[in-house]
Structure 1
Amino acid sequence: MQIVHPDDRDHVRSEMARARKATSSYEYDFRILCGDGSVRSILDRGVVRREGGGEVTHLCGLQVDVTDLIARTVVRDPANPADTLKAVDDTDSRIGVGDVLDVLFDDAPVGLAIWDRDLRFVRINALLAEMNGLSPEAHLGKTVQELLPDVRDIEGLNAVFREILETGEAHRDVEVSGTTPAAPGEARYWREHFFPIRTDGEIVGVAATVEDVTEARHAQEQIDVLLHELNHRSKNLVALILAISRQTARHQPEDFLEVFQSRLEAMSAAQDLLIRRNEDAVSMQELIRSQLPHFAQLIGDRILLQGDPDIVVPGNAVQGLGLAFHELTTNAVKYGALSNHGGRLTIRWSERSAADMLCIEWQEHGGPVTAPPTRTGFGSSLTGAMLKSTLGAEIVADYAPEGLKWRLDLPRGCNRS
């Protein structure tokens, strides 16, 4: 009461007392004093809640600042030249409550509609009419089924209407979907709140607020897909790490920690590219460079990268190819072209559009004389069998005396991971 204008306090007290005696609803207006000294006009409108015995327990309402909707007539006051402008008494110039509610209904930031007991539109605001793709006038006197036959489960929607008319209980957060003339053939989703309209205690219709949540629904679906993909990739990643640890321990137990760590770092570098790009593909050139961090100064001199920089690797092939490049680099440092001061490495990649194929060639020159391995280790599996099984790739490794030649052909449509 402290913020109520002093001239309106008795008015508010009497209106509150009258509201307690009301059958079902109340409505009155008053003014308040703001902290900065300004005066605002408030419309208070709501319903009366009673216990089973009829005793009032709550006044549930909405207070709306309607200052800007109140018209004031300004005239000159000849008797007071120093104060040349004077407002006429508010009671003669205020917009009627009905006009205020019209403005609130029409300018609300959500769709609004009212149906009678026959479930026919009796009022709809412009926003909801626009959502439906029909004029407001076209709705009047029609049912949802007549106007929007492509809304899904109309019978279920009608059942909600009938239950509200029978019980007087509101239904909130009802999801409605379907197509409308506003966007034929495009599925849309709406979140709607339905509640009864009462006059003198009798339920005379149903009202609803409607919000188009199609974009939010699609965003949630995308999040669900990404979470599913993340779960799938995480499981694959864990399985790959376990396989790497087991195979490294079996074949290279003497330097397990060093080798295992280097392989994990290769996987991490490839994963970083996917996360940083925020896409389901990575540039081939970036992927190769990520596996040559200690030899960046040799790129362009002893290491030649030849390929279209716009060619990308699909996301499900990044980890496998990254590990393969890491193993090839490790072998080149230990036994091949990067193990001396004169060797060279050329990495080429290209696309064959006719076969929809990604082709990669790894060729070493000038290193020690190369010979085929005497046994097949895990490194050979990473550059061979594993890529064949997970990506459907064709791989040829030629241990020619002048240097290793390794070639991979990856069908774009045959990725299996």
Structure 2
Amino acid sequence: MLNTDDSIPGAGSYEWHVGEDRLLWSRGLVQLYGLTRVDEHAEAFYALVHPQDRDRLRREVQEVCARADHFEHRFRILRPDGRVRHVLDRGRVVRDAQGSAVRLSGVEMDVTEIVEASCGGTGGPGADGSDRPPADAEILDAVFSDAPVGIGIWDRDLKFVKINPLLAEMNGLPPEAHIGKTPKELLPEVHDIDGVTQLLQEILTSGLVRRNVEISGVTPARPSERRYWKEHFFPIKSAGRVTGLAAIVEDITETRKAQETIDALLHELNHRSKNMVSLILAISRQTARSRPEDFLPVFQSRLESMAAAQDLLVQRSWQDIDVEALLRSQLPHVAHLIGERIRLRGAPEVLVPAAAAQSLALAIHELTTNALKYGALSDEQGRLTICWQLSADGRKLQIVWRERGGPFVSPPTRTGFGSTLTGAMLQSTLGGETRADYASEGFTWSVEFPLQG
């Protein structure tokens, strides 16, 4: 027997000489086990351990001797008087020069009251009338049940042993349906489920934590929608041995979709910005070449046309634009004539593809400028009608610009950049056809193009 001072009630110390298979007990430990005499053989000690905990404790002690420096065990003992007590056992391992365990030195404490309070307490006032603080088990249960993340626990066979309500909801199956089943059995539609299974096996083997693992797939919760989860896996250890693993799961589907939308918008913005810069450079070069004498006002007016179309696109979040709204954006200086000398005729809510809007806006701007300088809007008698209509199958849009009652019309003697904007450039951009008719009674222009590429 150890000659030690056991000053803590319900506790005692021991030394276990591994090679000699001999266990030395302190007086306090003898009292904790309710013994009157002590058998120092290890087997005699195991005989006092509750039968349901005996094999587990043997394995844990063997694993401690094999690789640990410190240890902690929790088990039940069966006293000679028939009472079952819960014991907490903590200690350290002493090894020889070769690294073999020669002695386990530990202290055991009777924690029965703590365990029973945690598992069977009512949560009401204590015997002294004060409020009892929540026990560890109650705290853990509250965290597990009400955590804003999914939590799952598996054994070494990767079978669920516990799952919180939120993770069960993510999977679309009741909690009880998970117990005893592997992720592959429950969720075969998860992307690369075999790879996920391999990852879990690696964690069991290595004992390493894996954080921020992204997994995606389809579950019974939403069988028609691909979902994304960020998962943090960590091993569960007992006496230095990995006995299972757990995971914390966050549903990041909406975050992932939002990021994909942002990435797509940034890509589209980059693409459109390059196109716009190229268009501006082309306009500046052509304007300087064809209209050097009034470059700044002409160039500025063309940029304003682009800006007006850009504003419409931004307002529509780069979606398709209503034809009439696009036309009106290019007629700001003659807006007071709309309904009198300018007529807009066409079916309501006909949309122009966003990709076509800017080129079409520049063409309308150029036509408006020419009408104000030389055409139907240059005097008080001229009239302008702009019509639009869809083809019978709804796949093409035609816009017709018709001027009447203005000055005498004659074909241009030279082809300038304006003709390019309303002709070849527009045809190339829209994949359509343009026509210009300089009949003496008035200028007529039309474009017809597919609404989808």
TM-score tier, shorter chain, comes to 0.7 to 0.9
Residue number in structure 1 paired with 2:275: 236
**What's the secondary structure of 1:270's corresponding residue?**
helix
Residue number in structure 2 paired with 1:89: 130
Residue number in structure 2 paired with 1:71: 123
| CA deviation after TM superposition for structure 1 residue 355, in Å | 4.9
| CA deviation after TM superposition for structure 1 residue 74, in Å | 9.6
**What's the secondary structure of 2:189's corresponding residue?**
coil
| CA deviation after TM superposition for structure 1 residue 189, in Å | 1.0
Segment of structure 1 superposing worse, 233-242 or 153-162: 153-162
Q: In the superposition, relative to structure 1, how do residues 168 and 74 fare at CA in structure 2: closer, same or farther (>3 Å)?
A: closer
Residue number in structure 2 paired with 1:276: 315
What amino acid is aligned across from residue 89 of structure 1 in structure 2? S
Q: 1:389 aligns with which of 417, 428, 438?
A: 428
Spell out, residue by residue over 1:248-276, the C-alpha distance to the aligned partner (whole angstroms, 9 max, x if none).
11111111111111111111110111002
8 Å CA contact 1:72, 1:94 repeated in 2: no
| CA deviation after TM superposition for structure 1 residue 192, in Å | 0.5
Spell out, residue by residue over 1:213-265, the C-alpha distance to the aligned partner (whole angstroms, 9 max, x if none).
12222222222222222122111111111111111111111111111111111
Residue number in structure 2 paired with 1:209: 248
Residue number in structure 1 paired with 2:40: none
Q: Which has the greater radius of gyration?
A: 2
| Matched ranges for 1:5-84 at <5 A | 23=71, 71-73=123-125
Q: 1:191 aligns with which of 205, 219, 230?
A: 230
Q: In the superposition, relative to structure 1, how do residues 70 and 292 fare at CA in structure 2: closer, same or farther (>3 Å)?
A: farther
**Alignment of 1:405 onto 2:444:** yes
Residue number in structure 1 paired with 2:353: 314
Q: In the superposition, relative to structure 1, how do residues 24 and 305 fare at CA in structure 2: closer, same or farther (>3 Å)?
A: farther
**Alignment of 1:339 onto 2:378:** yes
Q: 1:354 aligns with which of 370, 385, 393?
A: 393
Find the aligned partners of 2:302 and 2:134 in 1 and give their Cα distance.
76
Residue number in structure 2 paired with 1:371: 410
| CA deviation after TM superposition for structure 1 residue 163, in Å | 2.9
Structure 1: runs of 5 or more not aligned: 1-20, 26-68, 76-86
Give me the identity figure in percent: 59
| Matched ranges for 1:250-265 at <5 A | 250-265=289-304
**What's the secondary structure of 1:413's corresponding residue?**
coil
8 Å CA contact 1:359, 1:409 repeated in 2: yes
Q: In the superposition, relative to structure 1, how do residues 205 and 256 fare at CA in structure 2: closer, same or farther (>3 Å)?
A: same
Find the aligned partners of 2:286 and 2:195 in 1 and give their Cα distance.
59
What amino acid is aligned across from residue 88 of structure 1 in structure 2? G
With normalisation by structure 1, the TM-score equals: 0.76
Find the aligned partners of 2:153 and 2:284 in 1 and give their Cα distance.
67
Q: 1:220 aligns with which of 256, 259, 269?
A: 259
Find the aligned partners of 1:167 and 1:197 in 2 and give their Cα distance.
12
Q: 1:126 aligns with which of 157, 162, 165?
A: 165
| CA deviation after TM superposition for structure 1 residue 372, in Å | 0.9
**What's the secondary structure of 2:300's corresponding residue?**
helix
8 Å CA contact 1:335, 1:368 repeated in 2: yes
Spell out, residue by residue over 1:22-76, the C-alpha distance to the aligned partner (whole angstroms, 9 max, x if none).
8579xxxxxxxxxxxxxxxxxxxxxxxxxxxxxxxxxxxxxxxxxxx9933499x
Q: How many residues of Structure 1 are paired with residues of Structure 2 in the alignment?
A: 339
What amino acid is aligned across from residue 130 of structure 2 in structure 1? D
8 Å CA contact 1:160, 1:171 repeated in 2: no
Spell out, residue by residue over 1:330-367, the C-alpha distance to the aligned partner (whole angstroms, 9 max, x if none).
11011101111221111111222425221111111111
Q: In the superposition, relative to structure 1, how do residues 24 and 74 fare at CA in structure 2: closer, same or farther (>3 Å)?
A: closer
Find the aligned partners of 2:253 and 2:122 in 1 and give their Cα distance.
37
| CA deviation after TM superposition for structure 1 residue 142, in Å | 1.2
8 Å CA contact 1:72, 1:88 repeated in 2: no
Q: In the superposition, relative to structure 1, how do residues 24 and 410 fare at CA in structure 2: closer, same or farther (>3 Å)?
A: farther
Find the aligned partners of 1:362 and 1:202 in 2 and give their Cα distance.
83
| CA deviation after TM superposition for structure 1 residue 186, in Å | 2.5
8 Å CA contact 1:24, 1:201 repeated in 2: no
Find the aligned partners of 1:279 and 1:253 in 2 and give their Cα distance.
34
Residue number in structure 2 paired with 1:58: none
Residue number in structure 2 paired with 1:154: 193
Find the aligned partners of 1:140 and 1:255 in 2 and give their Cα distance.
81
Find the aligned partners of 1:146 and 1:131 in 2 and give their Cα distance.
16
**What's the secondary structure of 2:276's corresponding residue?**
helix
Spell out, residue by residue over 1:57-107, the C-alpha distance to the aligned partner (whole angstroms, 9 max, x if none).
xxxxxxxxxxxx9933499xxxxxxxxxxx7234xx555422331122111
Q: In the superposition, relative to structure 1, how do residues 271 and 24 fare at CA in structure 2: closer, same or farther (>3 Å)?
A: farther
Structure 2: runs of 5 or more not aligned: 1-68, 74-120
With normalisation by structure 2, the TM-score equals: 0.71
What amino acid is aligned across from residue 326 of structure 2 in structure 1? L
| CA deviation after TM superposition for structure 1 residue 308, in Å | 2.8
- CA root-mean-square deviation: 2.3
| CA deviation after TM superposition for structure 1 residue 400, in Å | 1.1
Find the aligned partners of 1:383 and 1:362 in 2 and give their Cα distance.
11
| CA deviation after TM superposition for structure 1 residue 165, in Å | 2.3
8 Å CA contact 2:352, 2:451 repeated in 1: no
| CA deviation after TM superposition for structure 1 residue 408, in Å | 1.3
What amino acid is aligned across from residue 282 of structure 1 in structure 2? I
Q: In the superposition, relative to structure 1, how do residues 350 and 70 fare at CA in structure 2: closer, same or farther (>3 Å)?
A: farther
Find the aligned partners of 1:151 and 1:74 in 2 and give their Cα distance.
49
Find the aligned partners of 1:303 and 1:70 in 2 and give their Cα distance.
84
8 Å CA contact 1:131, 1:182 repeated in 2: yes
**What's the secondary structure of 2:261's corresponding residue?**
helix
| CA deviation after TM superposition for structure 1 residue 413, in Å | 2.1
What amino acid is aligned across from residue 71 of structure 1 in structure 2? G
Spell out, residue by residue over 1:195-229, the C-alpha distance to the aligned partner (whole angstroms, 9 max, x if none).
12223443221111111112222222222222222
8 Å CA contact 2:432, 2:447 repeated in 1: yes
Residue number in structure 1 paired with 2:3: none
Spell out, residue by residue over 1:112-157, the C-alpha distance to the aligned partner (whole angstroms, 9 max, x if none).
1001122111101111111112111111111111211121222322
